[in-house]
Amino acid sequence: MKVLSCMICTMDRTIEEKLIQRIRAFDSIEINEIVKTNVGLIEKLNRKNPDLLFINLDNEELVFSDMVKLIQKPPFIIGITNNKKQLQEHLDQGIFDFLNSKVEMEDICRKISKIWHIYNCLFPQNDPKAAEAMPIYYATKNKPKLRNHTFVRYKKMNIKVIFDDILFIKNTGNCLRIESIKKKVCYHDSTLKQFQTILPRENFIRINKSVIVNYNRIDRFEKDTIYIKNNAFKISRIYAARLKDMLKRLG
């Protein structure tokens, strides 16, 4: 089976982390370059000739229309954008397909399926019928296994944090305070909104503008208050409905 070579160029750490996590769930996609800056991007594309390029089209420093003209052997380009008004313009310029900034695994699977379908049509293998079917391409399982941890960065240090061990994440004003079991505390240079995107959605929920809690670590709750260990957190009216939905779903 052919292994697709892949290049990532997002300039957004949150999107980059999610892309890497999801792409590594595929056995037949190999990330051969993660580009951190636009400088030398064309040169790297022409030197490595990747089969697939994920690129953030909302990056203001990137002029995609100029860039694509300089690529000698254009790959399948999947653009990441939340700007729906420019989708047709980008398609006309050579974009193959799109993802939004959530980078959902199901969406990526659909895009990869389309790419494999085109490969089968262009380069049919021993079985001529291979080009007729649209494959639903996953790595090994229908739901690829995601990581159970992440690394948080604070003052030039990278600290491993296990998702299940987290009690709560609190915005302290200039950074996040992440408190885990056994009174383990670490800090992270990020925002709640950014950090929430890498947390397992089935276990973590935001309860007010400053706090995200691990549902599995809640000891008890009242009408407008959640208790975790010796900590009490108020539930904002804005987020109360989401918490009720999670309570109904998980029990």
What pTM, to 2 d.p., does this model score?
0.52
Per DSSP, the three-state class of 16 is helix
| Residue 176: domain span | 149-250
Residues 114 and 202 in one domain: no
Tens-digit pLDDT string for the chain (251 aa): 578 899 998 888 888 888 888 888 777 788 888 887 777 788 889 999 999 999 988 877 777 778 888 888 889 999 999 988 888 888 888 899 999 988 888 888 888 888 877 877 777 654 444 443 333 444 444 444 456 888 888 777 888 899 999 999 999 988 999 999 988 899 998 889 889 888 888 889 999 999 999 999 999 888 889 999 989 999 998 888 777 777 766 65
Residues 16 and 101 in one domain: yes
Q: Give the phi and the psi of residue 116 in degrees, each rounded to 5.
A: -65, -35
Per DSSP, the three-state class of 143 is coil
| CATH number (domain holding residue 12) | 3.40.50.2300
- Enter the tokens of residue 130: 């291979």
Residues 67 and 156 in one domain: no
